[in-house]
Amino acid sequence: MPIYVSGFGEHSAKLAGRIGDGFCTTLPDADLIRTFRDNGGGDKPVQAGTKVSWDRDAEQALRVAHRLWASEQLPGRLAQTLPTPTDIGDATALVDPQKVAEHVSCGDDADRHAAQLRAYLDAGADEVYVQQIGPDMDGFFASWQSDVLPQLN
């Protein structure tokens, strides 16, 4: 069974290259992926994961993304050091919705969604996994099938 190692910094990328069967990241960071490849990763797979909030109404998409995933934009290691989920939830009050919008493609703009994925592919990811944050799964899949994915193939 292959074991992929997740990493967010140089040390973990080197470790993943040495001991993992692949590398998982949430960052479109070419230097990090290169570190993995140069330290034993070679042609092992790199998987990346990202989130989008698809909705015909971009403001609603942002509200949903902020409500559900503002914790990803907490500064520094705050999300890793707070002791309880309640503390993390309380800390998300510090996160401005525009900060979320800088990192999560919100709305139905196919070009923006494609650009978000393209950043991962250009950085060297072999596979990109996308989590739709919003509730309209049917709209998300229809839009991505007809408007987003063709831009990447």
pLDDT in tens, 37-51: 999 999 999 999 999
Model-level pTM? Answer: 0.88
With tokens 């890793």, the residue in question is 80
pLDDT value of position 8: 87
